[in-house]
Amino acid sequence: MNGLKRFLLAASLALAALLPAVGLQAKEAADLAADPVAEKRLMEISAELRCLVCQNQTIADSNADLALDLRREIRGMIQQGKSDREILDFMVARYGDFVLYRPPVQSNTALLWFGPLVIFVIGLIVLVRYLRRRSQVIASAPAGLTEAERKQAEALLQSASEPKDSAS
Amino acid sequence: MNKFLWPLIAFIVLVVLLAIGLNLNPREVPSPLVGKPAPAFALPRLDDPAKTFSPEEMKGKVWLLNVWATWCPSCVQEHPVLVEMAKRNYLPIVGFNWKEVRGDGSLDSKPATQEKEMALAIQRSSKLLAAKGNPYQVVTMDLDGRVAIDYGVYGAPETYLIDKAGVIRLKHIGPITPEVLEKKILPLLVELNK
């Protein structure tokens, strides 16, 4: 596993060196080589953050310009020794809670977090009440058949067992 | 109650919720900066990059900070509205040129040095302002987009209305249309100028 990672790193470095244009990709690869630990943290933090340009991607996944800028910003803050919490707070202060992929539990997200649970409990109550009412109906129904019903059933059974010539 | 009425009610509720959801614009992310002081910065000016502009200079005035770039079609679209606003002297408009060179995805080769990047950015933005009119009292150049991050900019155009005390009172995302001007900006401007 580690060997593979190292191989990939070496391969990407070699590729970066081969590229004549000093593009953004090459620059990112160089940064990656400089400090793999910081880079791993960068990827972990940016996987928690939403890219506001392509909203269903994280900053780690996205190659939008803004995502590159924000990764650069996070890299700078890691180098300054900021904690993960501080970096996430920095982003929330500028872009709002929406930037967090994992919404925080607070008053305005209560419905989001607990709504499904509330609906589940309501469903459970409805189900229990329905089942109780049904068992009451079953319990209160007369146990056996009345004489008239028994005769009717017998007649039906007999007529069903006889071959029907009208069906052809 | 009729047992067939419940599915109908549930269906109507669902339709109403979906209709509301479809009419929301997911791109309009409410800014946490509204009600907070406009972040301080000092950026080079378009007319003289040796000088800088800072929001401090606008203390005591209600003003507009307009994020734009020449590569942004919606900015070009809102430009006539800004020119009209400037002509009517509603309020000072400060241009915030955002990543003029780096933001342009259609540009094949990027300038190697910062001086060259600034020169190209100035050339491009001056050309547009000369051709379409300049509504800005001053234009600041944020070449690398670093200051824009402090303002939570994620796409141009974006516009901030800042009050006399330097507090952001409104953030508008997307182009300023005559309707936005009339319904959002002007009423707030009147209130803030009281």
Candidate from A48-52, A84-88, B58-62 with smallest mean pLDDT:
A48-52
> Average pLDDT of chain B?
92
Residues A112, A99 share a domain: no
Candidate from A24-28, A131-135, B179-183 with smallest mean pLDDT:
A24-28
Supply the CATH number for residue B127's domain: 3.40.30.10
Query: Quick one: average pLDDT of A18-42?
Result: 63
CA B4 to chain CA centroid, Å, is: 51
A-chain residues within 8 Å CB-CB of B107? none
Residues A84, A53 share a domain: yes
Give the pLDDT of residue A27.
55
Residues A135, A85 share a domain: no
Residues A64, A21 share a domain: yes
Candidate from A69-78, A145-154, B58-67 with smallest mean pLDDT:
A145-154
A168 belongs to a structural domain:
no
Instruction: Provide the pairing of β-strand B52-53 with B93-98.
Output: unpaired
Provide the residue range defining the domain that includes B129.
31-192
Counting every residue, how long is chain A? 168
Give the pLDDT of residue A23.
46
Tokens representing residue B22 in the block = 């479809």
**Number of structural domains found in chain B:** 1
**Number of structural domains found in chain A:** 2
| CB neighbour list of residue B34: distance below 8 Å, 6 or more residues apart | B168, B169, B170, B171
B17 belongs to a structural domain:
no
Supply the CATH number for residue A74's domain: 1.10.8.640
CA A72 to chain CA centroid, Å, is: 27
pLDDT at A158 over 50: yes
Domain end, chosen from A76, A104, A132, is at A104
Give the other-Cβ count within 10 Å of B75's Cβ.
23
Please indicate if any CB of chain A lies within 8 Å of the CB of B98: no
Query: Quick one: average pLDDT of A60-69?
Result: 86
Query: Quick one: average pLDDT of B88-99?
Result: 95
B3 belongs to a structural domain:
no
Q: Which residue has the higher pLDDT, A141 or A105?
A: A105
Check CB contact under 8 Å for B155 and A73: no
* 3-state SS class at B47: coil
Give the pLDDT of residue A1.
45
Residue B186: half-sphere exposure toward Cβ, Cα within 13 Å? 14
Q: Are B10 and B1 in contact (CB under 8 A)?
A: no
pLDDT band at B66 (very low <50, low <70, confident <90, very high): very high
pLDDT at A145 over 90: no
Residues A128, A83 share a domain: no
Check CB contact under 8 Å for A53 and B155: yes
CA B170 to each of CA B2, B36, B63: distance values in angstroms, whole numbers, following the listed order: 50, 10, 11
Check CB contact under 8 Å for B154 and A96: no
Q: Are B94 and B65 in contact (CB under 8 A)?
A: yes
Percent of chain B with pLDDT over 70: 99
Give the pLDDT of residue A6.
64
Provide the residue range defining the domain that includes A127.
108-161
Give the pLDDT of residue A134.
92
Model confidence over B126-177: pLDDT tens digits? Answer: 999 999 999 999 999 999 999 999 999 988 899 999 999 999 999 999 999 9
CA A111 to each of CA A15, A73, B30: distance values in angstroms, whole numbers, following the listed order: 49, 33, 19
Model confidence over B25-50: pLDDT tens digits? Answer: 877 777 889 999 999 999 999 999 99
Please indicate if any CB of chain A lies within 8 Å of the CB of B40: no
B44 belongs to a structural domain:
yes
Domain end, chosen from A104, A130, A151, is at A104
A2 belongs to a structural domain:
no
pLDDT band at A16 (very low <50, low <70, confident <90, very high): low
Q: How far apart are CA A50 and CA A98, in angstroms?
A: 7
Please indicate if any CB of chain A lies within 8 Å of the CB of B7: no
Check CB contact under 8 Å for B32 and A69: no
pTM, whole model, 2 decimals?
A: 0.74
Q: How far apart are CA A36 and CA A28, in angstroms?
A: 12
Q: Which residue has the higher pLDDT, B186 or B104?
A: B186
Nearest by CB to residue B150, choosing from A52, A65, A94, is A94
B13 belongs to a structural domain:
no
pLDDT at A21 over 50: no
Q: How far apart are CA A86 and CA B141, in angstroms?
A: 28
- Report yes or no for ipTM above 0.90: no
Give the pLDDT of residue A17.
52
pLDDT band at A168 (very low <50, low <70, confident <90, very high): very low
Query: Quick one: average pLDDT of A109-119?
Result: 92
